[in-house]
Amino acid sequence: MWTQLASLALAFTTLASPEFLQRAPRSLSPHSGFQDRHVGRQSASCTATWNGTRLTGAAEEAACRFTVRYGRAGRWEDSVAANQDGVDAAAFPKMCPQIGAVQSALATPLPSDEDCLFMTVYAPVNATAESKLPVFFWLHGGAYVHGSVSDSGFDGSKMAEEDDIVVVFAQYRLGVLGFLPPEGASTINDPNLAVRDAVLALNAVKTNIAAMGGDPSHVTLGGQSAGASLTRSLFTDARPAPLTLALLAVPAAKGLFHSAILQSDPLNFGSQTFENAADLREHVYGNATLANCTGECLKNVDLHSLLSVQDEVGAVAPFTIHGVPMGEVYRPQFNTTTLPSDPVSAIFNSPSTLAANISALPVLLSYTRNESGFTVDNFISGPQVANAFIFNVTVNKLLGAERAKAFLDAVVYPLVPGPDGMRTSLEIPLTDAVWRCVSLAVGAKYAAAGGTIFVGEWTKGTEYNAQGGYCSTPGAVCHSDDIYPTFESSPNVTANATGLANEIRPFWVSFIKTGSPGGSWKAFAANSTMADVYNLGNESAHAACPPGFWGDMVKWDWQVYSNTTNSTAPPPATSSPTGKKESGATTGSSVPGGVVLLVAVLGTVAVLS
Ligand SMILES: *[C@@H]1O[C@H](CO)[C@@H](O)[C@H](O)[C@H]1NC(C)=O
Ligand SMILES: *[C@@H]1O[C@H](CO)[C@@H](O)[C@H](O)[C@H]1NC(C)=O
Ligand SMILES: *[C@@H]1O[C@H](CO)[C@@H](O)[C@H](O)[C@H]1NC(C)=O
Ligand SMILES: *[C@@H]1O[C@H](CO)[C@@H](O)[C@H](O)[C@H]1NC(C)=O
Ligand SMILES: *[C@@H]1O[C@H](CO)[C@@H](O)[C@H](O)[C@H]1NC(C)=O
Ligand SMILES: *[C@@H]1O[C@H](CO)[C@@H](O)[C@H](O)[C@H]1NC(C)=O
Ligand SMILES: *[C@@H]1O[C@H](CO)[C@@H](O)[C@H](O)[C@H]1NC(C)=O
Ligand SMILES: *[C@@H]1O[C@H](CO)[C@@H](O)[C@H](O)[C@H]1NC(C)=O
Ligand SMILES: *[C@@H]1O[C@H](CO)[C@@H](O)[C@H](O)[C@H]1NC(C)=O
Ligand SMILES: *[C@@H]1O[C@H](CO)[C@@H](O)[C@H](O)[C@H]1NC(C)=O
Ligand SMILES: *[C@@H]1O[C@H](CO)[C@@H](O)[C@H](O)[C@H]1NC(C)=O
Ligand SMILES: *[C@@H]1O[C@H](CO)[C@@H](O)[C@H](O)[C@H]1NC(C)=O
pLDDT higher than threshold 70 for residue 494: yes
CA of 565 to the centre of ligand 11 (A): 9
Instruction: Identify the residue with better confidence: 173 or 326.
Output: 173
3-state helix, strand, coil in the chain (%, to 5): 35, 15, 50
**Mean per-residue pLDDT for 558-582?**
49
Distance separating alpha carbons of residues 146 and 314, to the nearest angstrom: 12
Show the CA angle centred on residue 567, arms to residues 563 and 569, nearest 5°. Answer: 70
- Cβ of residue 567 lying under 6 Å from some atom of ligand 12: yes
Ligand 10 close to Cβ of residue 528 (< 6 A): no
Confidence of residue 564 (pLDDT cuts 50, 70, 90): low
Instruction: Give the number of whichever ligand sits closest to the CA of residue 152.
Output: 1
Taking the CA of residue 568 as reference, the ligand 11 atom at the shortest distance is 2
Which residues have C-beta within 8 Å of that of residue 9, sequence separation ≥ 6?
315, 316, 319, 602
What confidence category does residue 384 fall into, taking pLDDT thresholds of 50, 70 and 90? very high
Query: What value does the mean pLDDT take over residues 61-66?
Result: 92
Query: Which ligand sits closest to the CA of 571?
Result: 12
- In this structure, how many other beta carbons lie within 10 angstroms of the beta carbon of residue 71? 25
Each residue's pLDDT tens digit, 5-42: 333 333 333 223 222 233 433 333 333 233 334 445 56
**Residue 286: predicted pLDDT:** 97
pLDDT, residue 562, reads: 84
Of residues 171 and 60, more confidence is placed in: 171
Domain residues of the chain, as ranges? Answer: 1-609
pLDDT higher at 319 or 299: 299
Q: Is the pLDDT of residue 277 over 70?
A: yes
CA–CA separation, 172 vs 114, rounded Å?
10
Tell me the average pLDDT across 319-348: 89
Spatial CA neighbour of 309 closest among 280, 352, 344, 340: 280
Q: Is the CB of 207 under 6 A from ligand 2?
A: yes
Q: For ligand 12, what atom is nearest to the CA of residue 273?
A: 14
Q: Whose CA is nearest to atom 5 of ligand 11?
A: 569
Ligand 6 probe mutation, 254, 259, 357, most atoms within 8 A of CB? 357
Tell whether ligand 3 has an atom less than 6 A from the beta carbon of residue 128.
no
Closest atom of ligand 11 relative to the 566 alpha carbon: 1
The pLDDT score that the predictor gives to residue 579 is 30
Ligand lying nearest the CA atom of residue 201: 2
| d(CA 563, ligand 10 centre) in Å | 6
| Closest atom of ligand 1 to CA, residue 31 | 13
Identify which of 174, 247, 238 has the alpha carbon closest to the alpha carbon of residue 205.
247
What pLDDT does 585 receive? 28
Mutate to test the pocket of ligand 11, among 345, 563, 564, 568 (most ligand atoms within 8 A of CB): 568
Nearest CA to ligand 6 atom 4: 360
Look at the chain and count its residues.
609
Mean pLDDT across the stretch 63-70?
97
Q: How many angstroms is it from 477 CA to the middle of ligand 7?
A: 30
On whether the CB atoms of residues 324 and 282 are closer than 8 A, the answer is no
Q: How far is the CA of 495 from the centre of ligand 8 (A)?
A: 9
What pLDDT, on the 0 to 100 scale, is given for residue 565? 52
Pocket of ligand 10 contains residue 572 by CB under 6 Å: yes
Q: Is 13 in the pocket of ligand 12 (CB under 6 A)?
A: no
Task: Lowest mean pLDDT of 2-16, 201-215, 224-238, 503-517, name the range.
Answer: 2-16
pLDDT of residue 42: 61
Sign of CA dihedral 208, 210, 213, 216: positive
The strands making up 166-170's β-sheet, listed across from edge to edge, are 41-50, 53-60, 63-69, 118-124, 166-170, 133-139, 214-224, 259-263, 363-368, 453-458, 534-536
Pocket test for ligand 5, best of 2, 280, 309 (most atoms within 8 A of CB): 309
389 CB near ligand 7 (under 6 Å): yes
Q: pLDDT at residue 183 above 70?
A: yes
Res 609 pLDDT > 60: no
Alpha helices by DSSP H, 478-552: 483-487, 495-514
Residue 423 near residue 468 (C-beta atoms within 8 A): no
pLDDT tens per residue across span 131-181: 999 999 999 999 999 999 999 999 999 999 999 999 999 999 999 999 999
HSE of 259, CA atoms in CB hemisphere, 13 A: 23
Q: Is the per-residue pLDDT at 221 higher than 60?
A: yes
What are 69-118's pLDDT values in tens digits? Answer: 999 999 999 999 999 999 999 999 999 999 987 788 887 888 899 999 99
Per-residue pLDDT at 593: 28
Query: 527-547, pLDDT tens digit by residue?
Result: 999 999 999 999 998 899 999
Its CATH architecture, for the domain 1-609, is 3-Layer(aba) Sandwich (3.40)
Distance 397 CA to ligand 7 centre (A): 14
Q: Are 145 and 175 in contact (CB under 8 A)?
A: yes
Question: 283: CA distance to ligand 4 center in Å?
Answer: 17
- Looking from the CA of residue 387, the nearest atom of ligand 7 is 13
- The predicted-structure confidence for 437-492, as pLDDT tens digits, reads as follows 999 999 999 999 999 999 999 999 999 977 789 999 999 999 999 999 999 999 99
Asked whether residue 568 carries a pLDDT value surpassing 60, the answer given is no
Q: Which residue has a Cα nearest atom 13 of ligand 7?
A: 389
Please give the pLDDT value at position 584.
29
**Percent of the chain at pLDDT exceeding 90:** 68
pLDDT in tens, 345-376: 888 988 877 777 888 889 999 999 999 998 89
494 lines ligand 1 (CB under 6 A): yes
Q: What does the alpha-carbon distance between residue 352 and residue 62 come to, in Å, rounded to a whole number? A: 44
| 602/321 Cα distance (integer angstroms) | 14
| pTM of the predicted protein model | 0.87
- Average of pLDDT values for 321-329? 91
Mean pLDDT of the chain: 83
User: Which secondary-structure segment (H or E) carries 11?
Assistant: helix 2-15
SS3 assignment, position 429: helix
